Amino acid sequence: MKIEAKNLSKIYIQGDKEIEALKDVTLSIEEGKFTAVIGPSGSGKSTLLRALAALEAPTSGSVIYDGRDIYAMSEGERAALRRRSIGTVYQDYSLLPTLTALENICTPCLMDGKKPDADYVLSLCKTLGIFDRVHHLPGEMSGGEQQRTAVARALVNRPSILFADEPTGNLDKTTAAELLELLLVAKAEYKQTLLMVTHDPDIAAMADVVIRMENGSGYCM
């Protein structure tokens, strides 16, 4: 899947103030690669990720998936694209607390009206090192295990791209390094494109491509 952002601008109105979170950002995300998005707090990283991940329309400009403008699609088409082609992981794991890890992992599949592929789910859990934890509730798991569960959930529909917004932000350094390693193993195994927002220069150093956000503008480094 080829993903391009063309002249993205995003303006938030807060009271009588306008915040220009994205200023004419044009870039393309290379298929199969690991792209890191870095930059100071408030520079527009999460806004860029949401725009690219079909979650929030820009004020102007377009996001093109394989030649199709995703914000020109119907809401239903865009929702199907999100369910089938896009995985997302956030800093706070966002697991449903009353469901077991396995139930959390299978949720996107069930929401898409599909029966989970048992062999694939098993393989995901093994790859991410949570196989013996899958019948636990999130509250019974460590932060690292919860985040690995969230990654498995993001991958369950075999998305072509995984978006992760500071996925290691709540983890200690060792656990963060483990998570990153597992993400890269999963990426190689299941062949997604990975776009990750990160504060961590060690993580950015491992990326194939680095985009630096600065005050709403994006630069490829």
Residues interacting with ligand ADP, by CB under 6 A? 12, 14, 19, 21, 39, 41-47, 213
Q: Does 46 sit near Mg ion (CB under 5 A)? A: yes
Q: Choosing among ligand ADP, Mg ion, none, which partner's interface includes residue 19 (Cβ < 5 to 8 Å by kind)?
A: ligand ADP
Which two three-digit tokens encode residue 47? 């806004």
Residue 49: DSSP 8-state: H
Dig out the tokens for 184 from the structure: 């890269």
Can you tell me whether residue 106 is helix, strand or coil? helix
The size of the chain, in residues, is: 221
Min dist. Cβ of residue 216 to ligand ADP (A) = 7
Judged by beta carbon, residue 44 or residue 116, the one nearer ligand ADP is 44
Q: How far apart are CA 93 and CA 167, in angstroms?
A: 8
Count, residues near Mg ion per rule CB under 5 A: 2
Nearer to ligand ADP, 43 or 157 (CB): 43
**Residue number with CB closer to ligand ADP (25 or 125):** 25
Decide which of ligand ADP, Mg ion, none touches 47; Cβ closer than 5 to 8 Å per partner kind: ligand ADP
Q: Give the whole-angstrom CA distance, residue 140 versus residue 214.
A: 39
CB atoms within 10 A of CB 74: 8
Contact set with Mg ion (CB under 5 A): 45-46
